[in-house]
A and B are shown apart, each in its own frame.
Chain A
Amino acid sequence: MIRISGLEKKYGKINAIQDINLELTKGRIYSIMGPNGSGKTTLLKSILGLVLPDKGIIEVNGINTRTTHSYRHYIGYMPQTASFPQNLQVKEVIEIIKRIRVTNKSLDLELYEKFNIPSFESKKISSLSQGTLQRLSGTIAFLFNADIIILDEPTVGLDPYSAEYMKQKIKKEILKGKLIIFTTHILNEVQELSDNLVFLYEGRVKYFGPVPKESDNGTFKKMIYNLFQENE
């Protein structure tokens, strides 16, 4: 579970996020939406420890993220753009992460197999396409069976088949009681995958609540449209 209270971050004079209060619980999928520069990435990076907030507290499974790095054992992360050391082999990249995250949990090899990672495991990163790197990045996010999975635009850059596998995987993980957070600009993805939406505008939460069901497509689109309109 992730509890965020009074979170604020400024870059110079600009408020990237302000007064964010959220409680994200296990067994749910949360999508984060908002226009460019609304604070989505800052919020995710604050949870991951990449950005150090000016104010507020983030707790992951009861651990204050400021006090230790060990809470990141609970998190699997897929960045928006995958990037790895160019001269390493794929298996070496996986090995680094394995050595960092020494875990007793069994590895989740589903995406590893679905994305056919073994077929290019011995290849150098520099010889792979960006789409293949995205597949590798997605695999690593799920590999360690983390309780919380954070995905930054997970289907961007993936071919249609891989994007579909990724969506199926997200749906499956929720049955295991995991907490999944993802950012996206694709409305259909929000409706298809998530049950809760966090809508950010100028660093503030403008909507935090359930996503209307797929059958109520018109209502959902109208809701998102209104959220954009109200804040313009």
Chain B
Amino acid sequence: MNKFNIAKYVLFDIIRNKWLITYSIIFFITSSLLTYFSGTEERTISSLLNVVLIIIPLVCLIFTSMYYYNSRDFIQMLLTQPVERSNIFFSEYIGLSISLIFAFLLGILFPIFSFGLTLSILILVVVGIFLIFIFTSLSMLFAVKFDDKLKGLGLILFIWLFLTVIYDGLLLYLYYLLADYPIEKFTVIFALLNPVDISRIAILMNLDLSAMMGLTGAAFLKFFSNPLGLIISFVSLIIWVILPIILASKNFSKKNF
């Protein structure tokens, strides 16, 4: 059997999902309004940045987990067929990721048409796609691990809150406590541990807004403007995609349904 046969039907199912269609339309309207009222490309991307960094992770986490929980009976039915567990698992993952990427690209069409596919917009798109892969895999990990929907969703929401808000708050507090020490290099390392931070910095650096970040910004600029820094941040994003999905896949193949 073709490995992508199941993924194709998962995709068919999700792209007809009314919640995903609504999300795409709202995203399209929001990005169009932001583009229209912001005027310049730089201001538009700065405004879209928050949508990409906060809304996309939240939507991916919730949509993926809800879809997985609601599909459990059908997944069980598929598991009774002559097909490998990994095939079913990755079909679900690929189907979910591609449909969410499709919704994201549809949502961001207006800025692309307005300013063309410039480097800044391209980075925004690439970062958005990475975030979709990362948060879909994180969501799959928790949804597979916890059969209790409430527990799973609770943890997923905590992960979102932690990576988008709490982590930065803790770092700020740490920087405040260690303000007298040369911790610039460590800020880069800490940023690499959070996919939302890597994405934020990658977009801001390209917009030349690092000057607003003081000494930390200078450290970021130095790191991200050299090829090795870019490769390291790219690799860390890839690890953020691969690690949760491998753990989720292992859980799935040993799971009792």
Hey, which chain B residues are within 8 Å of A92, CB to CB? 9, 12
Interface of B is mostly: helix
Q: Which of B13, B70, B83, B84 has the most CB of A within 10 A?
A: B13
Hey, which chain B residues are within 8 Å of A100, CB to CB? 1, 5-6, 78, 81-83
Take A51-B257, A92-B12, A99-B1 as given contacts and tell me if A69 and B6 are in contact as well, using a CB distance cutoff of 8 Å: no
**Is B47 positioned at the interface, with any CB of A under 8 Å from its CB?**
no
The answer on a CB contact under 8 Å between B1 and A77 is no
| A residues 42-93 touching B (CB-CB < 8 Å) | 45, 48-52, 69-73, 75, 77, 79, 81-88, 92
Hey, which chain A residues are within 8 Å of B70, CB to CB? 86
Expressed in whole angstroms, the Cα–Cα distance for A92 and B257 within the complex equals 24
The answer on a CB contact under 8 Å between A50 and B80 is yes
The answer on a CB contact under 8 Å between B82 and A45 is no
The answer on a CB contact under 8 Å between B82 and A88 is no
Q: What is the number of contacts between chain A and chain B, taking CB atoms within 8 Å? A: 80
**Is A102 positioned at the interface, with any CB of B under 8 Å from its CB?**
yes
**Is B38 positioned at the interface, with any CB of A under 8 Å from its CB?**
no
Take A69-B84, A92-B12 as given contacts and tell me if A84 and B74 are in contact as well, using a CB distance cutoff of 8 Å: yes
Hey, which chain A residues are within 8 Å of B78, CB to CB? 96, 100
Take A45-B257, A50-B256, A96-B9 as given contacts and tell me if A72 and B82 are in contact as well, using a CB distance cutoff of 8 Å: yes
Which residue of chain A has the shortest Cβ distance to B257 in the bound complex? A50
Take A92-B9, A99-B5, A100-B1 as given contacts and tell me if A81 and B79 are in contact as well, using a CB distance cutoff of 8 Å: no
Expressed in whole angstroms, the Cα–Cα distance for A218 and B6 within the complex equals 50
Contact-residue size bin, chain B (C-beta under 8 Å from the other chain): 20 to 34
Expressed in whole angstroms, the Cα–Cα distance for A86 and B70 within the complex equals 9
The answer on a CB contact under 8 Å between B74 and A50 is no
Q: Which of A71, A81, A86, A96 has the most CB of B within 10 A?
A: A96
**Is A97 positioned at the interface, with any CB of B under 8 Å from its CB?**
yes
Hey, which chain A residues are within 8 Å of B13, CB to CB? 85-88
Minimum CB–CB distance for B93 against chain A, Å: 15
Minimum CB–CB distance for A183 against chain B, Å: 15
**Is A169 positioned at the interface, with any CB of B under 8 Å from its CB?**
no
The answer on a CB contact under 8 Å between B5 and A88 is no
**Is A101 positioned at the interface, with any CB of B under 8 Å from its CB?**
yes
**Is B71 positioned at the interface, with any CB of A under 8 Å from its CB?**
yes
Q: Which of B73, B74, B79 has the most CB of A within 10 A?
A: B74
19 residue pairs from A and B, CB less than 8 Å apart: A45-B257, A48-B79, A48-B80, A49-B80, A50-B80, A51-B256, A51-B257, A52-B256, A69-B84, A69-B85, A71-B82, A72-B81, A77-B77, A79-B80, A92-B9, A92-B12, A96-B6, A99-B2, A100-B5
Interface residues of A (CB under 8 A from B): 9, 11, 45, 48-52, 69-73, 75, 77, 79, 81-88, 92, 95-97, 99-102, 137
Known: A52-B254, A87-B14, A100-B82. 12 other contacts (CB 8 A): A50-B76, A50-B256, A69-B84, A72-B80, A73-B82, A77-B80, A83-B74, A85-B13, A86-B70, A88-B12, A99-B2, A100-B81
**Closest 7 pairs (CB-CB, A-B):** A83-B73, A87-B16, A85-B13, A72-B82, A50-B257, A77-B80, A48-B80
